[in-house]
Amino acid sequence: MNTPGRVVIATRESPLALWQAEHVRQILIQRHPGTQVELLGMTTRGEQILDRTLSKVGGKGLFIKELEVALLERRAQLAVHSLKDVPMDLPDGFELAAVLEREDPRDALVSPKFATLAELPQGATVGTSSLRRRAQILARRPDLRAEPIRGNVETRIDKLSAGTYDGIVLALAGLKRLGVTPPHVLPLDVDEFVPAVGQGVLAIEAREADREVLEVLSRLDDTRSRSEALAERAFLRRLGADCHTPVAGHARTDGHALTLTGVVTSLDGATMMRGSAAGSGSEAEGLGRAVADELLAKGARTLLDARGNG
């Protein structure tokens, strides 16, 4: 197999995004010692706009548009993303060339004083960057105040330490990858607090026409994570959902069996619809569509059409 002599990875410049890109860089160097691998750091609109929620300014796709421009202009050969930030439909000419082994997909509650959601006092403020987390928090504790929080992992923890929030909820994978160990980190069980579609998964995007790069990247693909991602993304695509709606979807593999749980929640957490399906990894996308159809049959369209405003 031929390997490119030089590969440039487009990446956001947040600490977590740089960790992820460096992780891929090291894998490529280890497997292809003669290849020169460089990082092209970029600031995206998603990182520039910090005073409004993502649902108000265009969604999570804001985190990858500039990286795709770099690919299109051939300033980079590949881009590394958190899969949960990748829209369901990529622009023409691009594909997800590799889905890497999944890190811990759970959300986590971080609080300097309170070890669990149940311990938070009535009216406590919990910071969260997503409508999904907000809705699931309120479903369990409608008395809490779920307030928006933006910025990278360290910025959010600094805001927590400053007393702006009583607790924050964020992805456990980010804490693990960065080696951040704040006090009182409580992982939230995936059955009780269902993660976002693609949470914990790194994906590599490349141009469809760049066959040499695609061949190299195909060797990095993790079959298990790919099946889980296909199921979760098929579920979200069938619903036609986006960042304006509290939707969660999590697939897990046990041997040859793949199980998908999907959840659609009202913005205030008062209504939660849940569905599930199980089959083999080869049926991943069909399972995703089946769970979406189950929820739509239960009336989830009403919740999906109630667009969020914050």
Chain segment 12-53, per-residue pLDDT in tens: 999 999 999 999 999 999 998 888 999 999 986 544 444 444
d(CA 127, CA 134): 8
The tokens for 87 are 């829209």
Side-chain half-sphere of 42: how many Cα atoms within 13 Å? 23
d(CA 168, CA 21): 26
Contacts of residue 111, Cβ cutoff 8 Å, sequence gap at least 6: 120, 160, 166, 167, 168, 184, 186
- Name residue 33's beta-bridge partners: none
Q: What percent of the chain has pLDDT over 90?
A: 81
Name the pLDDT band for 306 (thresholds 50, 70, 90): confident
pLDDT given at position 135: 96
Q: What is the pLDDT of residues 221-279, one digit of tens each?
A: 999 999 999 999 999 999 998 767 899 999 999 998 999 999 999 999 999 999 999 99
Q: Which domains does the chain have, with CATH numbers?
A: 6-101+201-221 (3.40.190.10), 107-187 (3.40.190.10), 232-304 (3.30.160.40)
Q: Average pLDDT for residues 206-211, to the nearest whole number?
A: 96
Higher pLDDT, 187 or 63: 187
d(CA 243, CA 197): 11
Q: Average pLDDT for residues 108-134, to the nearest whole number?
A: 95
Q: What is the pLDDT of residues 145-182, one digit of tens each?
A: 999 998 899 999 999 999 999 999 999 999 999 999 88
Beta carbons within 10 angstroms of residue 217's beta carbon:
22
The 3-state secondary structure of 139-205, one letter per residue: HHCCCCEEEECCCCHHHHHHHHHCCCCCEEEEEHHHHHHHCCCCCCEEECCCCCCCCCCCCCCEEEE
- Between 59-73, 101-115, 232-246, 260-274, the lowest mean confidence (pLDDT) is in 59-73
Side-chain half-sphere of 96: how many Cα atoms within 13 Å? 25
Helical axes 15-31 vs 153-161, angle rounded to 10°? 140
Annotated catalytic residues are 85
d(CA 251, CA 148): 27
d(CA 148, CA 168): 10
Enter the pTM of the model: 0.90
Average pLDDT value for the chain = 91
The tokens for 240 are 């036609």
What is the DSSP track for 53-107? Answer: -HHHHT-GGGGTHHHHHHHHTTS-SEEEEEGGGS-SSPPTTEEEEEEPPP----E
Asked whether 146 and 138 are in contact (CB, 8 A), the reply is yes
- Name residue 206's beta-bridge partners: 78, 95
**φ/ψ of residue 4, rounded to 5:** -65, 145
pLDDT given at position 5: 81
The b-or-e profile of 124-141 (16+ CB within 10 A means b, else e) is: bbbbbbbbbbbbbbbbeb
- Between 20-24, 63-67, 110-114, 201-205, the lowest mean confidence (pLDDT) is in 63-67
d(CA 263, CA 53): 21
d(CA 176, CA 232): 22
